[in-house]
């Protein structure tokens, strides 16, 4: 998932890309942002895409840096929110070691740390560390390995959407699909996305001077995973991980 992927996706973004803001029914992410927001502070929306979170962030902070790898996404965001005057749009790649950002008191990164490449992720984490001030807050949402596997297990056990899952994979295709399972890299719509275990995420954050202070499941309805979820299937629900982490002061 390099820049080209996101640039090409931009015109179709609204139809193709899962909307975390709309599907977070309990509004845990917005609530966390409000808890730690300060009108004297600056926030970076890391991987802001077409700017869905900007109307929430703009009134809560002095300044918002809207950062994305895709300049096409940023153009759309700018055109959608001309009335938000405290936003600076910035094209930049969090997986580039040369990225330089002025550190902010808060970083919000909602499903943008998705790259399947371990090296790119390592730099992404380093840039998260660099772009948030000591004592600042990171609000991070990522796909969950646990939820992904739960969904596959339930699908097979109860034969949900059986016709859609009936394709017999060749050995080569099966290998392609699952070869990076042991690294939490799993396909969403045939595109490899990094998914995280809770403990793994905790460890990666600690390695980058962030102390996780709260983990939450952002729970979704089953119709976000299945075309026809059985009516009895309620809990557990599929989820992404939300973690609130504090940048450690030295
Ligand atoms: C799934 S979208 C999420 C967008 C937004 N945070 C939201 O919740 O609506 C992921 C976004 O992250 C951006 N992105 C992916 N990798 C990135 C990187 N290395 N640096 C900056 N932005 C990146 C993509 O361009 C895309 O807009």
Longest CA–CA span in the chain (Å) reads 57
Strand, coil or helix: 229 = coil
Q: Is the CB of 240 under 6 A from ligand 1?
A: no
The superfamily (CATH) of domain 3-247 is: Vaccinia Virus protein VP39 (3.40.50.150)
The 8-class DSSP code of residue 220 comes to: -
* pLDDT attached to residue 169: 85
Q: What is the pLDDT of residues 116-158, one digit of tens each?
A: 999 999 999 999 999 999 999 999 999 999 999 999 999 999 9
Q: What pLDDT band is residue 79 in, cutting at 50, 70 and 90?
A: very high
Instruction: Locate the ligand 1 atom nearest the alpha carbon of residue 120 and give its number.
Output: 19
The closest residue, in CA terms, to atom 14 on ligand 1 is 47
Q: What is the pLDDT of residues 213-241, one digit of tens each?
A: 999 999 999 999 999 999 999 999 999 99
> For residue 93, how far is its CA from the centre of ligand 1 (angstroms)?
10
Instruction: Locate the ligand 1 atom nearest the alpha carbon of residue 52 and give its number.
Output: 9
Q: What is the pLDDT of residues 4-17, one digit of tens each?
A: 999 999 999 999 99
Own/partner contacts of 89-95, CB < 8 Å, gap of 24 or more, are 90/65, 90/66, 91/67, 92/67, 92/68, 93/3, 93/69, 94/46, 94/47, 94/67, 94/69, 94/123, 94/124, 94/127, 94/128, 95/119, 95/120, 95/121, 95/123, 95/124, 95/127
* pLDDT attached to residue 174: 86
* pLDDT attached to residue 173: 87
Q: Do β-strands 87-91 and 63-68 pair in parallel, antiparallel, or remain unpaired?
A: parallel
* pLDDT attached to residue 179: 85
Q: What is the share, in percent, of the chain residues with pLDDT greater than 90? A: 90
Contacts of 64 (CB under 8 A, 6+ apart): 42, 43, 44, 45, 54, 57, 58, 84, 86, 87, 88
The closest residue, in CA terms, to atom 16 on ligand 1 is 112
Q: Is the CB of 20 under 6 A from ligand 1?
A: yes
Angle at 64 between CA 63 and CA 69, to 5 degrees: 150
In the chain, domain spans: 3-247
Name the pTM for this structure: 0.96
Q: What pLDDT band is residue 103 in, cutting at 50, 70 and 90?
A: very high
Distance (Å, whole) CA 225 – CA 95: 29
Q: Which of 69, 110, 118, 122 to mutate to test the pocket of ligand 1 (most atoms within 8 A of CB)?
A: 69
């Amino acid at each position: 998932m390099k820049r080209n992927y996101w640039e090409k996706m931009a015109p179709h973004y609204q139809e193709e890309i899962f909307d975390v803001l709309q599907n977070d029914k309990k509004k845990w992410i917005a609530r966390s942002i409000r808890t730690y927001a300060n009108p004297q502070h600056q926030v970076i929306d890391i991987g802001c895409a077409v700017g869905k979170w900007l109307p929430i962030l703009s009134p809560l902070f002095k300044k918002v840096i809207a950062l994305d790898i895709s300049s096409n996404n940023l153009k759309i965001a700018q055109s959608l929110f001309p009335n938000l005057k405290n936003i600076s749009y910035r094209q930049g790649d969090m997986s580039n070691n040369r990225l330089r950002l002025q550190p902010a008191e808060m970083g919000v990164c909602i499903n943008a740390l998705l790259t399947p490449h371990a090296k790119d992720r390592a730099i992404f984490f380093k840039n998260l560390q660099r772009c948030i001030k000591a004592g600042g807050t990171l609000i991070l949402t990522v796909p969950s390995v646990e939820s992904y596997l739960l969904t596959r297990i339930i699908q097979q056990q109860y034969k949900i959407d059986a016709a859609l899952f009936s394709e017999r994979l060749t050995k080569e295709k099966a290998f392609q699909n699952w070869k990076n399972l042991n690294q939490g890299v799993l396909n969403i719509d045939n595109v490899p996305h990094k998914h995280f275990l809770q403990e793994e995420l905790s460890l990666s954050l600690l390695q980058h001077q962030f102390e996780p202070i709260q983990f939450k499941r952002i729970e979704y309805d089953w119709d976000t995973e299945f075309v026809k979820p059985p009516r009895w299937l309620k809990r557990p629900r599929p989820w992404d991980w939300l973690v609130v982490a504090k940048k450690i002061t030295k």
